[in-house]
Amino acid sequence: MNPEASLAYLGGLGTELRPGRKFSLDAISTLLAALGNPHRRWASVHVAGTNGKGSVAALIESAARAAGWRTGLYTSPHLERLTERIRLGPDEISAAALAAAATPVRDAVERLLAEGKLPNPPAFFEVVTAVGFLAFAQAGIELAVVEVGLGGRLDATNVLDPLVGVITPIGLDHEQYLGSTVAAIAGEKAGIIKPGMAAVVSSPQAPAAEAVIAGRCRELRVPLLEVTSADAVAAPPTPLRGWHQRENAAVAARACAVLGERGFAVPPAAIAAGFAGVRWPGRLEQIASNPAIILDGAHNPLAARALAVHLEDEQQRRRPKPVIVYGSMRDKAVEEICELLFPRAAAVVLTAPRQPRALSPGALAAACGGWAPRFEIAPDYPGALAAARRLAAPAEADIYVTGSLYLVGEARAHGGAQ
């Protein structure tokens, strides 16, 4: 396939998040075996959690690259381009390299279906995971940092045999797939823990999650290294904003230290340099000034609490209350999120990302409008931004675009356009 055909092929694949979906590692294992098990040709760090896992993965990869290792980074979802999910060193995978990996993956899928070795076509995330893992092998990387897509135990990335496991803060999200309690969700996330790991590094956790993770580590005799909030004070600085990013930096630094025990030395100077140069879009990311437009994908209650703390910190610095642009998918805990965020705003603009699963602005207003000091409705992001600029102008307030990562992606593509 040429680059255009490979993107069209991947974009046309079915989603995992559909009613009745049964998660399993069978399809990805069969597909990778047909490709020669490319994931066994490089070492890995596996990162699970509800929030912060992408930031932690980016920090670890940046530090390992600064130490001289040939690295890959696999994350999801993407904000604007599918190629964001697969990074070779500092760069997104090129269109040509993506096609070079996607073509043999597509051919293997078609062959396995014809032979009856795959009973159903693999879903989008399974295929993209195979493409990413093959691309890493084709590029000759030495160490990949891989973010879990959904859960952990049955996520397509859990075919790895990683050197280090990392579990970032766990909260309620995707309950229809992972369970209705923090303990149940922690059980799914702890499914990435495997015998022989050098260690599992854990962020500060709720007691129910901490107990599950610790029990799994004891069962498999894997050392558990628990990072505390106090460790964040001494974490190497990063350009990532928010106190929660200090905790993420502390977790990433501890994981880098563990890598050294397995032959991938990442000395303190490399950690400092890598952390200083890291970028992670869509997480308290400022994309414009006058007024400041800040993007943050607070799409679940745990992320909303982190954003709420940041907004309170901004109030302590005597910043005017911001204007929030908010949109969400239908399957999110919108009432809990809006209760956390809307009272901390001067005004809210309710909108919807361009997605079939988006909650309509009218439904948002009915469910959550009461939490806002004042609110307006806009049908799409450009209209919402125009309304937010008008509302922010009198007090020279900042504008925060938050909720769905799809909305954040639209905002990045739109930029600070008037």
CATH of the domain at 207: 3.40.1190.10
Q: What pLDDT digit, counting tens, does each position of 175-226 carry? A: 677 887 999 999 999 999 999 999 999 999 999 999 999 999 999 999 999 9
The pLDDT of residue 416: 66
> What long-range pairs does 21-24 form, CB within 8 A, spacing at least 24?
21/123, 21/177, 23/150, 23/151, 23/154, 23/155, 23/177, 24/154
Q: What is the pLDDT of residues 232-277, one digit of tens each?
A: 999 999 999 988 999 999 999 999 999 999 999 999 999 999 999 9
Confidence of residue 67 (pLDDT cuts 50, 70, 90): very high
Q: What is the pLDDT of residue 417?
A: 60
Structure letter (DSSP) for residue 358? B
Residues 345 and 250 in one domain: no
H, E, C per residue of 289-330: CCCCEEEECCCCHHHHHHHHHHHHHHHHCCCCCCEEEEECEC
Same domain, 250 and 376: no
- Please indicate, yes or no, whether residues 258 and 388 belong to a single structural domain of this protein: no
Whether residues 231 and 323 fall in one domain: no
Amino acid identity of residue 259, one-letter, is: L
Of 221, 250, 276, the last residue of a domain is 276
Which of 250, 276, 302 is the last residue before a domain boundary? 276
pLDDT band per the 50, 70, 90 thresholds, residue 20: low
Does residue 249 sit in the same domain as residue 154? yes
pLDDT digits (tens, 9 = 90+) for 130-146: 999 999 999 999 999 99
Q: What average pLDDT is seen over the chain? A: 94
DSSP 21: -
pLDDT at 85: 97
Confidence of residue 418 (pLDDT cuts 50, 70, 90): low
With cut-offs at 50, 70 and 90, classify the pLDDT of residue 35. Answer: very high
Q: Among residues of the chain, what percentage have pLDDT more than 70?
A: 97
Q: Which domain holds residue 356?
A: 283-414
Q: Last residue of a domain, which of 218, 249, 276?
A: 276
83 backbone dihedrals φ, ψ, rounded to 5° = -65, -15
Contact 312, 337 (CB under 8 A): no
Q: Give residue 376's pLDDT band: very low, low, confident or very high (50, 70, 90).
A: very high
299 and 374 together in one domain: yes
Name the domain count of the chain.
2
Q: Do 207 and 309 share a structural domain?
A: no
Quote the CA–CA distance of 359 and 364 in Å, as a whole number: 7
What is the average per-residue pLDDT within 365-372? Answer: 96
Q: Are residues 303 and 164 in the same domain?
A: no
Q: What is the arrangement of strands in the sheet containing 71-74, beginning at the earlier edge strand?
A: 91-92, 86-88, 71-74, 143-147, 43-48, 164-167, 199-202, 224-226
Q: What is the CATH number of the domain that holds 366?
A: 3.90.190.20
Q: Please tell me the distance from the alpha carbon of residue 64 to that of residue 259, in angstroms, as a whole number.
A: 9
Contact, 154 vs 53, CB < 8 A?
Answer: no
Closest by CA to 90, choosing from 278, 236, 286, 287, is: 278
8 A C-beta contact, residue 88 and residue 135: yes
Nearest C-alpha neighbor of 191 from the set 171, 169, 220, 233: 220
Within this chain, do residues 267 and 290 fall inside the same structural domain, yes or no? no
What's the confidence (pLDDT) of residue 229? 86
For residue 207, say if its preceding peptide bond is cis, omega within 30 degrees of 0: no
Which DSSP letter does residue 401 get?
E
Q: Which of 43-57, 164-178, 267-281 has the lowest mean pLDDT?
A: 164-178
Q: Are 325 and 349 in contact (CB under 8 A)?
A: yes
Do 259 and 319 sit in the same domain of this protein? no
> Which residue shows structure tokens 């229809």?
176
- 189, 323: one domain: no
- The CA angle 248-28-171, to the nearest 5 degrees, is 30
DSSP, collapsed to helix, strand or coil, labels residue 237 as coil
End-to-end CA distance of the chain: 39
* The pLDDT of residue 173 is above 80: no
- Provide the sign of the torsion angle of the four alpha carbons 316, 322, 327, 333, taken in this order: positive
- Beta-carbon contacts of 121 under 8 Å, excluding residues fewer than 6 positions away, are 13, 14, 109, 113
pLDDT given for residue 211 in this prediction: 98
**What is the pLDDT at residue 61?**
98
The pLDDT assigned to 179 comes to 83
Quick one: 41 and 137 in the same domain? yes
